[in-house]
Amino acid sequence: MKIYLTISLICLTVSVSSQQQLGKAEREAYKETDPARLSFLLTKSCSTQTEKVKAIFYWITGNIAYYRPVAKNRKAKNKTVFFEQEELDDKALPSLTDRVATKVLQEKTAVCEGYARLFKSLCEYAGIRAEIITGYARTDANKANANFRSNHSWNAVYIDNSWFLLDVTWASGYIAMPSGDFVKYYDSGYFLSSPAKFIQHHYPDDTRWTLLPETPVLGEFRYMPYRQRSYSKYSITSYLPSKGIIEAVVGIPFVLNFNWTWSGGRLWRFHPILYQSC
Amino acid sequence: MEISPDSLSELLVQQAVPSYVYIKPVAVNGARVTYDFPVDNEHTQWLYVMYNEDVLLRYKLNIRKTKESIAAN
């Protein structure tokens, strides 16, 4: 009986001690705002690339909340950012991805681009190649097909000589309706998903990032062409054809029509280039 | 070789599909500009409208052959 109690006590002590250590490591990681140091903390005990990517992915989903702007604070926030940008010294500027990653780690909130940049930054410090993918995310809210445009960011990561897709933003939770509050909810379905599954809700601007042999035609094309991210930079007031699928016949040209203006009301001096691919 | 429209484009991939088409407008009416897009083969599947090396719009093309072009082949 005495031996049993002693063994139990030792086990309990070891368990409590390791939990305390784990808690200490988690707190240390949570406080860290330098992407390089955080990447090291998260991956130092991982032996494979997959383990490292999983550790980074899981940490972000558990510690970064989706940013929900409060309208009245938005102006003040922009001013702060502007002021900080003015304070640059002559040191080499970190990459945009690292700057965004640091900001996200300081604030513990982000929108999709912040999530994706943080993921890329942490992966690269762990020696793993990652890319930020921009494109269209299909949600229930825009199933009406009126919003077929680039509206989201996610990642591709290179593990053991292959690219894989993941979405750390969607894996971290969801926006509850009608409150609009972010609800933290880990969803492993967005971690290294198969390309065939991923394309059902993630359509990239650069179609090579579908990682599929053929670029699929989304149903949304029946209603409108796909508006890439740069579309919003130019004040195109209308375009024809208005549908995204053009039926054409060899030898018969078809008509494209654009209203090209910009905010100053001037006509663009140059004309667009058309690019065709098979 | 054209300058790639985005940072992710790889030159090798673009070399495999070198299909930029420069066309002049057939009509300019104020801010409204009209183009005729020539359809010379049935293999083209996608059409990208670009400006300043930015891709703006992506169309899906469904091109079919005429009876004459089928007969010629």
Q: Is residue B2 part of a domain?
A: no
CATH architecture for segment(s) A32-81+94-222: Roll (3.10)
Task: Report how many domains make up chain B.
Answer: 1
In chain A, which residues have pLDDT < 70? 1-22, 70-90, 140-145, 260-274, 278
**CB distance from A237 to chain B under 8 Å?**
yes
What pLDDT is stored for residue B44 in this prediction? 84
The Cα–Cα gap between B28 and B5 comes to 26
Q: Are A248 and B63 in contact, with CB atoms under 8 Å apart?
A: yes
User: Within a domain: residue B37?
Assistant: yes
Predicted model pTM: 0.78
Structural domain span for residue B50: 11-72
On whether residue B25 sits in a domain, the answer given is yes
Q: Write down the pLDDT at residue A261.
A: 63
Using CB atoms, pick whichever of B17, B31, B50 lies closest to residue A278. Answer: B17
| Burial of A59 per CB tally in 10 Å (0-12, 13-18, 19+) | buried
On the question of pLDDT at B11 being above 60, the answer is no
Q: What is the mean pLDDT of residues B32-49?
A: 85
HEC per residue, chain A: CHHHHHHHHHHHHHHHHHHHHHHHHHHHHHHCCCHHHHHHHHHCCCCCHHHHHHHHHHHHHHHCEECCCCHHHHHHHHHHHHHHHHCCCCCCCCCHHHHHHHHHHHHCEECHHHHHHHHHHHHHHCCCCEEEEEEEECCHHHCCCCCCECCEEEEEEEECCEEEEECHHHHHEEECCCCCCEEECCCHHHCCECHHHHCCCEEECCHHHHCCCCCCCCHHHHCCCEECHHHHHCEEEEEECCCCEEEEECCECEEEEEEEECCCCCECCCCCEEEEEC
Inter-chain CB pairs, A–B, below 8 Å: 172
Q: Is B24 among the domain residues?
A: yes
Minimal CA–CA distance to A245: which of B40, B21, B64?
A: B64
| Chain B interface includes A247 (CB < 8 A) | yes
**Minimal Cα–Cα distance from A225 to chain B, Å?**
5
Of A231, A254, A268, the CB nearest to B39: A254
pLDDT the model gives residue A116: 97
Q: Contact at 8 Å (CB) between A149 and B57?
A: no
Q: Which residue of B has its CA nearest to A276?
A: B47
Contact residues on chain B for A219, CB-CB shorter than 8 A: none
What pLDDT does residue A89 have? 56
Chain centroid offset of residue B48 CA: 6
Sign of CA dihedral A189, A195, A201, A203: positive
Q: Within the 12-71 window of chain B, which residues sit less than 8 Å (CB to CB) from chain A?
A: 13, 17, 19-25, 28, 30-52, 54-66, 68-69
Cβ <8 Å between A271 and B24: yes
